[in-house]
Every structure is written in structure tokens, then in C-alpha cells.
Structure 1
Amino acid sequence: MTQKTTRTIDFFFDFSSAYSYVALGKLDAFEAARDVSFVWRPFSLGVVFKETGGSPAKSDSLKGRYITRDVERSAGEIGLPYVWPQPFPFNSIPAARAFYAIAETDPRMAQLFARAVFAASYGLGKDLSDADQILGVVAELGLDREDMAGRMGGDQARAKLKAVTDEALRLGIFGAPMFLAEGELFWGADRLDQLGHWLDRGGW
């Protein structure tokens, strides 16, 4: 009997993207409902903004005020706790590098790390641009804090984050979160439903 291969969808996200946190709250149910697997790919949205001329909405602008309420409402709709991290937006590069340092040997643990970072930053409002906070998450997961302190700033983790960010730009990714399924891009946590409908209609 031929073993069925689970189809994969690339999940491009930035730790400093509030909507990426909202999307995270929907991934498990989506995977279970459609027998797909998300490949987690943190990238630097700040670098993408510089290359594309994009920018985050200012918190005191009309759009910024709407986004603030929309994120809180969207998180509440799916039962996610939400506290705006301070500062926001924050420097997500250290956390992304730590993710790739962990993923070098244990991709599953890297996902657990990412979930823990999102929970600490948006669930508790902690500053996850701070290396000590990141290493605290590492320690809570039972990983070696001192080892990770060196590896998250190492050349390999830096190169991996740069490579994924460069690839994101080549693929036409301009925001977070974005999902890539067989060359088709879907932007935003609210597009997961549309992605699901596309798959249900045979989008593959």
C-alpha cells in the first residue's frame, strides 16, 4: 500500500506581527481538518518593508487605531489571550535567529519555541526583543540557555534568516502572515478561511 504524503503549506511569519499570532491560533484546527502540514518560516518583515517601501501603520493613525481594535477582536474571537507587547512593534530578529538555531537539530522544538515566544509576547505582553527574555523561553523548554546564547547569534542562524527573507522577497511576500500553497499566496490570518475553501475546491 502506498503511504499517503501529507501536503505542506509554507507559513511565513514575523514574531513582531500581531496578525501572525492570531493566525497561529488557527493552524492546528486547519491542519487537522484538511490533512495538511504547515512549514514554519519566520522572516524579517522589517527587511521586506525596506525593500518594498512598506511600513507598519502608526498606532495613532486611523488605520493604526482600527488595527489595534481588530487584532484584539480577532484574538478574542478564537479564545486567544491578548496583551499588546511593549514596545510594539519590536525587534523580532533575535527570536527568529533563535528559531533557526533550534531548528538546525530539532524542527519540532523550534515550533514549540515559536509558540512560547508568541504566548509570552502577545499573551503576557513581554518584550521578546530582549535576549534575556528569549533565553528565558529557551530555558523553560528545557534547552541549554548558554548554548543557545551563542548559537542564536552565530553565523549559521544569521545566514538562515537572511536566506529565508531573501526567498520571501523573491516569492512576492510583502507582509505577515502569508501562506504559500503550490505557488498561490494568501495574505493575513483572515485569509486562512479562503485558503481552506481553495483547497476544498481542488486548488492543489
Structure 2
Amino acid sequence: MRIETLARDREVSIVWRPFLLGPIFKKNGWSTSPFNLYQAKGSYMLRDMERLCEGYGLPFSLPVPFPQQSLLAARVAHAGRDQSWIGAFTRAVFIAEFAQGLDISDEALMADLLLEAGAPAKSTLAAAHSRETKIGLRAAVTDAEERGIFGAPSFVLADGELYWGDDRLEHAIEAAARLSG
């Protein structure tokens, strides 16, 4: 929700690389989110997210089920990763899922969110279902694993340095500004 503003303020460019966490979790032997597997960690994460969102002035509600089926949203994001609307679309998906509790696997919802973000819904959804996008998203998961990503949000700098979590966003932006400066 904050990355584009912070990056713009520090003149840092963003390269969006949508991926799926599910396959990464499975390779770690987890059948679901670690926040579901470890009750104390999950309870803390939920309360922490509530506090963070309150501080940012954002609504928050843990979706049911959690995690949601995000394959379609990830494919749409992968298909549009280089488009000017990708940030607006990403924010809209998170609001739909984590503020409104909507089902992000619903194609009609994805079409609405694409239109809201100023994207061509019909052609983007067609691209999301294409063989090329399916293969590309699988490759993005492999790339994420190779970069050491284990959770989201993750920020990887041009030098390969990994930062994980909302609480590391400012650190990542500052480090990226030093690299580009």
C-alpha cells in the first residue's frame, strides 16, 4: 500500500515481480501459511496487522479462508507486471481481500478491480489465462526461491540484498536509493 509513494519520494524505481507463496511454503514442508501452522505466531501476526493498518489509516480484516486462493490474482498481476496500472491493481486486490473480505479468486471481481485500476480487463484476463503467463508465473516462483524469498512482502535490491516485511520497507528504499545514487 505504501511502496510507490516511498519509492517516488526517494527516486527509486520499482520492478514488480508477482509470485505465489504456496509453492515456496510447500517446498519448506508447510501445507498452509506459517501463521496458520503456528498458532501463537498467527495470533500475533493478526494483532500486529490490525495495529499497523490502524496506524496507516487502512481497514483490515483477516479474510476467510486465510490464505485465500490467489492464483488468478497472481496470474493477472504477472500479466500486467510491466504496466502502469500494476500498483493500483495490487492495492485494489489487497483492499478487496484484507479490508472487504472478498474472494480474490472470482474472475468478475478481478475484472472490476482491473477496470478500477484503469486496465483493459478483457485482454488482461485473457493474458492471465494464457500458457505464456502460466509458464511465466511458475518461473517467477522459481526466481523468488532462488533470491531467498520466503514471505511477502519482500524487496530485493539490484545487488541482490533481500528485505522482508512491511517493517523493512523504509530500510529497503533507503538502501536502494544509496545503490542508485
Range into which the TM-score falls when normalised by the shorter chain: 0.7 to 0.9
* Amino acid aligned to 2:26: K
Number of positions where the alignment pairs a residue of Structure 1 with one of Structure 2: 177
Residue number in structure 2 paired with 1:158: 134
Return the match for 1:183 from 160, 177, 181: 160
CA contact (8 A) 2:163 2:172 kept: yes
Residue number in structure 2 paired with 1:71: 49
Residue number in structure 1 paired with 2:40: 62
CA deviation digits over 1:142-195, x for unaligned, max 9?
A: 555444443322111111111111111111111111111121111111012333
Moved more, 111-120 or 142-151: 142-151
Residue number in structure 2 paired with 1:12: none
Return the match for 1:101 from 70, 75, 79: 79
Structure 1 residues 187 and 141 mapped into 2: Cα distance closer, same or farther (>3 Å)? closer
| TM superposition shift of 1:66 | 0.9
Distance 2:153 2:117 in 1: 25
CA deviation digits over 1:38-69, x for unaligned, max 9?
A: 21111010011112334522288111111111
CA contact (8 A) 1:87 1:127 kept: no
Return the match for 1:133 from 95, 98, 109: 109
Moved more, 28-37 or 181-190: 28-37
CA contact (8 A) 1:43 1:168 kept: yes
Distance 1:141 1:192 in 2: 23
The higher-RCO structure (CA 8 Å, 6+ apart) is 1
Residue number in structure 1 paired with 2:27: 51
Distance 2:164 2:103 in 1: 26
SS of 1:127's equivalent in the other structure is coil
Distance 1:60 1:53 in 2: 13
Bigger strand fraction: 1
SS of 1:74's equivalent in the other structure is helix
Residues 1:90 and 2:63 are matched in the alignment: no
Distance 1:39 1:98 in 2: 16
Percent identity of equivalent pairs: 36
Structure 1 runs of 4+ with >6 Å offset: none
Distance 1:111 1:162 in 2: 21
CA contact (8 A) 1:128 1:134 kept: yes
SS of 2:84's equivalent in the other structure is helix
* Amino acid aligned to 2:126: G
* Amino acid aligned to 1:163: A
Gaps of 5+ in 1: 1-23
Gaps of 5+ in 2: none
